[in-house]
Every structure is written in structure tokens, then in C-alpha cells.
Amino acid sequence: MAAEKVTYENFSGDPFSDWTPDDKNKGADTILQWAYDAYGSDLVYACSFGAEGIVLIDMIAKIKEDAHIVFLDTGVHFKETYELIEKVKKRYPSLKIEMKQPELTIAAQASQYGEELWKTDPNQCCYIRKILPLEEALTGVPAWISGLRREQSESRKNTNFVNKDERFHSVKVCPLIYWTWDDVWNYIQEHHLDYNELHDRGYPSIGCAPCTTAVETGDSRGGRWQGTMKTECGLHLPGSAKK
Ligand code: SF4
């Protein structure tokens, strides 16, 4: 299919909605190639450096070696996550990896909202430390890539390859929608990719340290915001929880 530039303004549905990929990577390479052909250097990948993240980085680096990657550096990530980022930078030196930080430092946030906002009001904390920085990073960006997979949760099961993103007034490209958790790990092993060491210590999904715990069993999103009703930071919801 021609690399038609789908925008937020002209969006009329996923151009791949009638396509069921039957290749080994379940359409991911095709979608990435289409997206980089359509958006070129304007395309941003917002990467959390989880298992899906390093798979996508490996695929992206083969298509666009100087792709723009944004990591939301909340300031409270695990040291293992920062170590992984350094390894990725060495393996793919041409990628432009941007460490996007929030306006408020942890100390400034504590003095304005109280200590450990992630405990008292995690939605506000995510808004300050993730949503606002991504909003800034995506300003003027026609499309961004996300590693969402349909099997991850109820709220993600209708995700398409190409989505109108109401939250960030952009187009969200999700190449891994048909991937299972096993697909992700098979790719990592087959390509000998570095991954976050915490995955081997019971953390399937790795976000900020204060909000991520190890789990004995569970799905690929297990261990995030345990003990609360919260399941999403808000990046993939149409409106953010706090303003
Ligand atoms: Fe704050 Fe936790 Fe959200 Fe990170 S995941 S921004 S620490 S509430």
C-alpha cells in the first residue's frame, strides 16, 4: 500500500483494517516501513524500554537508523532501566534517544503537591511526569509509535495498526497489535537483544520504581500500581485524569 500520510485532521479509519498479516512478525515490519515512508523524520517512537520497546527499537533501527525515540524520564525509574538505555544507545548509536523530563523536579513536585504524590494522587503524578512531557514532545508531530498489544488488556483489545489519537491530537501507529507475550520474548531471544534485568526478577511490566512491584504470576501488565484501581498512566486514554 502507498504510504499515504494519514493525519489527525484527515483521519477516516485505519488504512490497514482489512488486512490480516500472515508473516512471521504479524505485520509489524510492514507497518513500520509504511509509517516511516509516510512520516519520515517527523515520526516519534515513545518508548518505555519494556520488552515490547526493545523489540520495536530493533525493528525501527533496521528501517530508519536515526529514528527519533522519546523516553519519558520521570526521574523515578529503576537504575536497571537507565542501564538498559545505555546499552541500547551503544548498540544503536545512530538512534536519536531523547530523555524527556518533566518541568517539575521530584523536589519541586513534593513542595507543591506533598511528598510521594504517586501514593496520594497517582493520576496527578502521571499527569505531571508523563502526560504533560509527552504532550510537549508530540507538539506538531503528525504521528507517533506505541508498543500497545491487543491482548494486554480490555481497553487495548480494539487497538488498530493506525489510530486517531484524541489525547495528543495525532495519529498513533501500533505495529504490535497482534503480538502475544510469547512473540515478544521469542523475538528478543532470537535477536539476542538486551532487556531490562528486572524481567528476570519477576517484573513483567516495568514503569516507575514507586509504582511497580514484582509479581509471582500474572499477565504482562502485572505489578503496575498494585493495591490501587489504576491500570494505565493515561497516555492511552482519550482524556487525562487530571489537569
Ligand atoms: Fe508518578 Fe507512579 Fe505515574 Fe510514575 S507511574 S508518573 S511515579 S504515579
* Centroid of ligand 1 to alpha carbon of 98 (angstroms): 19
| Structural contact between residues 240 and 167, judged by C-beta atoms closer than 8 angstroms | yes
- Structural domains for the chain: 28-104+131-197 (3.40.50.620)
The alpha carbon torsion through 174, 180, 181, 184 (nearest 10 deg) reads: -60
| Ligand 1 atom closest to Cα of residue 118 | 8
Active-site residue flag, 47: no
Query: Is residue 126 marked as binding?
Result: yes
User: Interior CA angle at 63 toward 30 and 16, to 5°?
Assistant: 20
Rounded Cα gap, residues 111 and 129, in angstroms: 15
**Which tens digits make up the pLDDT trace of 152-189?**
989 899 999 999 999 999 999 999 999 999 999 999 99
> What residues in the chain have per-residue pLDDT under 70?
1-3, 217-232, 234, 237-243
| 139-149 tens-digit pLDDT | 999 999 999 99
Q: What is the pLDDT of residue 77?
A: 97
